[in-house]
Amino acid sequence: MIIPEIIRPTRSPLNKPKPKLNQPLNRSAVLLSAILIFTAFVVAPFINPPKTQAWTDKVMPKCTSLSFGTFNWKDKIQEKLDQYEANNPNNVAPESWNLESAQAFILYQAPNDTDVRLDAVFSNLKLAEFYKDPADSKYKYQLGIEPSAYQNPSWSHYQWEINITSKTVTSVGLTPSFATRSATTPYPTHDIMCVYSARGFDYAPTYDGTIFDTDVPSQGGEPECALLDIPCKIQKLTQGIADTFTAVNNALMRFLAWLFVPESSEMQEHASNLTDLLNEKLGFLLYPLTFTVDIWQALNDDTNAWCTESSCSKNTGSFMGSNFNLDFFKLNDVIPSLFVFMQNAIRVITILGLIHLARMKFKEVTQK
């Protein structure tokens, strides 16, 4: 009988040799670490977590940042403006409302509404300056704008807040005219896009500018979950995770846009630098190119086109370096029908001439 030999493991997990410090590191691990560190240091500054507002006497109010990606302000504000004008036919919005400039906003309280609803949109414009009043140690704000319509003649910044709170103001239209009012300091530029409110509105991170379906949240933000309110805590946790993913996604998008899409001003600066350099160094060698570009621009420039409309007063033309009144186009003002007839006659004659030219060419080719 053969007794099998006991096989002893030559290497047990216990006596596994420890890695030496001078061994080369795993390439994949190094690469992954590098990516993580790069992401953390480069993308993290772009993360802009959603902010909530809180307005109490002792807490500095903050603004809710809204980006163009989540706030289609033109459609939203235009819709509200139409609604406002429909409800207030005698109190139209300020004329300076300009959707294109993106520097105006409207703020109103819907008629017969129990809640104050605020919607403000502004960009590249610092509208409010918050400060602490030493008289009563309350935080107040100044608006660097001129109210175009307000109910209380003794309007002041703090009064405005009281009015809104007490629901005495039904509508306030504000235009960024930067008139100096009672220690109001205009701040013409500030690269921020915010919604300010005098009360403590808490905007959800996914707020897109629509009116709240429910009541305006109470001052100071949403109530905290009770100690044993597990569903509430789970909901807050889920919401927090979702907000984090949204914030990271937005940050990544902003980072990629910053990385790959240059701004037009930067491209113009590069083009200007290149043109200056070539003009300085190449001198007359660059002139043929400049001349060609100028001719192309002259052929496609409509600004110096002669006017043939009767509403225009520009019936003088420039030809061979001299300005004169072109009677042919003046005819459009005097006898428009004759002008149109002559214009069409010239067009028909030209087209017939082209047809004749094509026919001659056809004969020439076929008779070769």
Partner 1 sequence: MILNAILTLYIGALDAVLGVLPSLPATPTAITNGGNWLIDLIAGVSSMLRAIYSPALLTGIIVILIAILAFDYIYFALLWALKKIPMINIK
Backbone dihedral angles phi then psi of residue 73, each to the nearest 5 degrees: -65, -30
Cβ distance to partner 1 smaller for residue 133 or 301 = 301
241-248 own/partner pairs: CB under 8 Å, 24+ apart: 243/49, 243/50, 243/205, 246/205, 246/206, 247/47, 247/48, 247/49, 247/50, 247/205, 248/43, 248/47
Site for partner 1 in 35-64 (CB under 8 A): none
Tell me how far, at minimum, the Cβ of 248 lies from partner 1, in Å.
Answer: 20
Task: Kindly identify the residues of this chain, within the stretch 140-169, that bind partner 1 according to CB under 8 A.
Answer: none
Count, residues near partner 1 per rule CB under 8 A: 45
Q: Is 29 in the site for partner 1 (CB under 8 A)?
A: no
Given candidates 265, 321, 366, 367, which one binds partner 1 under the rule CB under 8 A? Answer: 321
Beta carbon nearer to partner 1, 41 or 260: 260
Question: From the CB of 365, what's the least distance to partner 1, in Å?
Answer: 7
Nearer to partner 1 by C-beta: 245 or 324?
A: 324
Beta strands in 95-166 (DSSP E): 105-108, 128-133, 138-143, 146-149
Beta carbon of residue 251, minimum distance to partner 1 (angstroms, whole number)? 15
Site for partner 1 in 259-318 (CB under 8 A): 259-260, 262, 266-267, 270, 273-274, 277, 280-285, 287, 291, 294-295, 298-299, 301-302, 304-308, 317-318
Instruction: Report d(CA 267, CA 278) in Å as an integer.
Output: 16
Q: Based on CB atoms, which residue is closest to partner 1, 192 or 289?
A: 289
Interacting residues of 61 by C-beta distance below 8 A, sequence separation 6+: 53, 54, 55, 130, 139, 141, 196, 197, 198, 200
- The least CB distance from residue 138 to partner 1, in Å, is 44
Which residues, in sequence order, are bridge partners of residue 172?
107
From the list 139, 165, 132, the residue with the least C-alpha distance to 56 is 139
Count the Cβ atoms, other than its own, within 10 Å of residue 259.
Answer: 9
CA-to-CA dists, residue 175 to 107, 128, 144, 188, angstroms = 11, 13, 10, 13
330 belongs to the binding site for partner 1 (CB under 8 A): no
Q: What is the contact surface with partner 1 in residues (CB under 8 A)?
A: 258-260, 262, 266-267, 270, 273-274, 277, 280-285, 287, 291, 294-295, 298-299, 301-302, 304-308, 317-321, 329, 343, 346-347, 350-351, 354, 357-358, 361, 365
